[in-house]
Amino acid sequence: MAHQTHAYHMVDPSPWPLTGAAAALLMTSGLAMWFHYNSMLLLTLGLLIMLLTMFQWWRDIVREGTFQGHHTPPVQKGLRYGMILFITSEVFFFIGFFWAFYHSSLAPTPELGGYWPPTGITPLNPFEVPLLNTAVLLASGVTVTWAHHGLMETNRSQTIQALTLTILLGLYFTALQTMEYYEAPFTIADSVYGSTFFVATGFHGLHVIIGSTFLIVCLLRQIKFHFTSTHHFGFEAAAWYWHFVDVVWLFLYVSIYWWGS
């Protein structure tokens, strides 16, 4: 019997914060081991424990919210704040890489030939695959909004179809980018051009994969009837994250692919 007189969720003790911290320790020390001592053991172990932690922690949150009803309106409000703050922190993360790009490209050094793109670099044509990628992500923004409306309008089949389409578009983007990376005439080692290009687009690609995974989890939950027409914050959080990924791409496209060529 619940005897609390407030609507908040005092969570039960959980091992996942500790396993998460252990994973972080293993991954960081593992990186050092990989760089200096040619061993991937700690790194792999750290990655494995991180994935297990994420799976079990988020599984527990679904249990607490959907199956046990702990996500009352004030709790949901807190989750919203949390997601917004997290996405904001990610925005600042990307601002750093854009800062690096503009710092290097607005005043190209003599080592680069005083030009941007630097002498010897053939940048990718922004009107080929990168433009297709832009269209793919913009379309996926439309489909995820379509899925949201389907959910709010209690339309199960449209929600599932639109969400599936969003995921397929996300996977298509990832496949296209992978091909672009393989075929690119320059590498990460090619001066600051390569560094800024691959670090910025690389982190973006990682976020696309994370966002696609989040959407896939939402699809599975939708199929299993977890979401109601008025309470589906997990879906909204995934959609916000997906729109953020789309916006970052637009900035990348305009700055690095288009202006930067």
Partner 1 sequence: IVQYLTSNVGARLSQIYLWQGSHTFLQKHLNTSVFYSYLGVPSDEEQATGLERKTLEAMKKGQDPYSILKPKGYAGTREDPHIVPSINKKRLVGCICEEDNSAVIWFWLHAGESQRCPSCGAHYKLVHHDVPH
Residues in the site for partner 1, rule: CB under 8 A?
1-7, 9, 67-74, 150-151, 154-156, 159, 220, 223-225, 227-231
CB of 65 to partner 1, least distance (A): 8
Query: Which residue lies nearer to partner 1 by CB, 59 or 103?
Result: 59
In this complex, which beta carbon is closest to partner 1, that of residue 31 or of residue 62?
62
Write down the least CB distance from residue 80 to partner 1, Å: 15
Q: Which is nearer to partner 1, 15 or 69 (CB)?
A: 69
- The least CB distance from residue 168 to partner 1, in Å, is 18
By C-beta, is 64 or 180 nearer to partner 1?
64
Give me the half-sphere count of Cα atoms (radius 13 Å) on the Cβ side of residue 255: 23
Report the residue number, 2 or 189, with the smaller CB distance to partner 1: 2
Q: How far is the CB of 125 from partner 1 (least distance, A)?
A: 41
- In the complex, the smallest distance separating the C-beta of residue 91 from partner 1, rounded to whole angstroms, is 31
Taking the complex as a whole, the smallest distance from the CB of residue 56 to partner 1 amounts, in Å, to 18
- Whole-angstrom distance, CA of residue 131 vs CA of residue 256: 13
Residue 80 or 194: which CB sits closer to partner 1? 80
